[in-house]
Amino acid sequence: MNFIESMFEWLLATTLRASAMAVAILGIQFLLRRWLPPQWRHALWVPFLLVLALPVLPKVPFGIFPQKVAANAEVSGAAIEAETSALPLAEAPAAAAPIAARASSVNPWAITWLAGSVIMLGIGIASYQRNMRRIKRAVVPLDASLRQSLAQAAREVGLQRKTLVIVSTAVDSPAVTGLLRPTLLLPAGFPSGFSESQARLILLHEFTHLKRFDLPVNWLTCIFQAMHWFNPILWFAFARLRADRESACDAQVLSLDKADHRADYGHALLKLQSATPQLGFNLGFVGIFERNSELKTRIRNISSHRKAHPAWRLAGATLIGALTVLGATEAQERKPEKPPAVPPVTQDAAPADPTRVISNKLTTIVIPVVKFENTSLEEAVDFIRTKSKELDTAEKDPAKKGVNFIIRMPREGSGAPDPGKARITMDLKNVTMISALQKIADQTKLRFSVDESGLTFLPADHKETFQNLPPGTDIEKLDEIRFPDPPPPKLPAGKAAQADFKIVIPTVEFVDVSLTEAVASLNKQAKENAKGQPVFPVVLDAKVNGETKVQELRLRNVPLTIAVQYLSEVTKSSITANDTEIRITRR
């Protein structure tokens, strides 16, 4: 899965959580509307912003967003073997390039979301830059008396940061902007038309926005709104958040001194009513007067203003904490009710049958998405192999994670189709490994068998006989699938055989070569693909004729030990192993 699709999946989960959180916050505000102070009404949106910002939710023992845990299924049966039905190969243009599952096309909905977000941000940034250029072109000098009023207001608020002040004829209403360098925007002629008290309250309001860090929060909110442009619930929530921000700022200004300035403050807002508000979603601008629709509510809140009761510090913090724990966290994983499919082997217990372990992996590991489009057999098998290692959570030993896959190619001149030329196309979701492998085998006219070395794809012309399954048999529903007699060969004992089994050789191509040459080739490839692991040599016994011809042997992605087994099979010899080498001997 590529980065855009991962972001889109995270965004969908986030927009659902944030919508639920917004509904909960609006419900609490409605129920407590008579008692909830404006400052705490605005503070309730903190958990909402956390939900939107956190890429990964913290985990707690309880939560309203639990994780899904797939139960481990118990699978019986000593081993799995299937013979696939022959289906015509899907025709594809010869010039078409193979496309692996990992490079499949991106979800069109993810592209649509990304394009919409970029357009929204682009429009907002362009509008902001255009407004700022217009404002800077119409700058007028700052009056000395206004400079003194600004300094006095900043001291009253307790603002320590230096603020750039721009007075311009292009400014309709006082506002603050900027991120790294906060800027106060004032209309030309300010405070003309306002009383001294009203002008002071307006300046206190703007400096309070800077004191409360409302500017960076406003930038963050605009980014979130662009990312969730498709969600009307969040658009409404953002509008309410901005309205609550202004009411909270009003209440904080009125609480700065003991004198009652509610009438002056209300009259100042009424005088600003005719000012033109910023359009769009106010990217970068925070002003005392933004929307006519909120004026009535703000006037009502100002007229009924009273200082918040000290008890609200505890009550508000508790309410915000509860919302954060329930909405901005995720429940811990529930422990699976059933034991793992492959129980750990203790010192007193008998070791698990390797074939049964592989069978359990094939039937219990579920791959979320398997999507192939004109993909080669090797690419498809490599994808399944990678997923088997990623999703094999029951296996604790990293060296034993996943399942090994071997591809045994047909003999030249046998008339059997070359599976390497076949193209695979499928689109499956939440599918077990064995089901995906069955469909791969169907489309490549192969069959497969399972033993302790892993799963081997075999050509249809292979001389070994297998017990046929009835047509339409569902492998996953069988209680037991038996291997034919004789059973597959066991790995030879000895440190060398076990170590060489971990070395995978990508390609084995022997056609009319001597046994000596074949052994030399295997030893050379083993050193090249050891990846730092110890390599134990394959040697010929003195009694074995090294000139014996290997008529034909074609394998893909095969462990060195298994490759030696196949080599001994085609040359009618045997193999033994100890702690220093693997030896090919006479039968």
d(CA 469, CA 336): 34
Amino acid at residue number 395: E
pLDDT at 471: 46
Mean pLDDT value across residues 244-251: 88
d(CA 223, CA 120): 9
Tell whether pTM > 0.85. Answer: no
pLDDT digits (tens, 9 = 90+) for 557-578: 788 888 888 888 888 888 888 8
Rounded to the nearest 10 degrees, the angle between the axes of helix 560-570 and helix 515-528 is: 170
pLDDT at 78: 35
pLDDT at 25: 92
Reported in sequence order, the residue ranges of 433-559 that DSSP labels E, i.e. its strands, are 446-451, 454-459, 504-514, 538-540, 549-559
Q: Choose among 313, 279, 298: nearest CA to 201.
A: 298
H-type alpha helices, 68-213: 108-137, 144-157, 196-211
What share of the chain has pLDDT > 90, as a percent? 12
d(CA 167, CA 190): 8
* pLDDT over threshold 90, residue 233: yes
pLDDT digits (tens, 9 = 90+) for 278-311: 444 455 577 665 555 566 677 777 766 666 666 6
Q: Residue 89 carries which DSSP code?
A: P
* pLDDT over threshold 50, residue 91: no
Contacts with 343 (C-beta within 8 Å, 6 or more apart), sequence order: 352
Beta bridge partners of 552: 511
d(CA 245, CA 238): 10
Q: Which domains does the chain have, with CATH numbers?
A: 3-69+314-330 (no CATH), 81-104+349-460 (no CATH), 130-229+246-293 (no CATH), 495-585 (3.55.50.30)
Write the CA distances from 95 to 90, 92, 341, integer angstroms: 15, 9, 45
How many other C-beta atoms can be found within 10 angstroms of the C-beta atom of residue 574?
Answer: 16
Which SS3 state, helix, strand or coil, does residue 142 take? Answer: coil
387-421: b (≥16 Cβ within 10 Å) or e: bbeebbebbeeeeebbbbbbbbbbbeeeebbebee
pLDDT digits (tens, 9 = 90+) for 496-554: 888 888 888 888 888 888 889 999 999 999 998 888 888 899 998 888 888 888 877 77
pLDDT digits (tens, 9 = 90+) for 333-345: 555 444 444 444 4
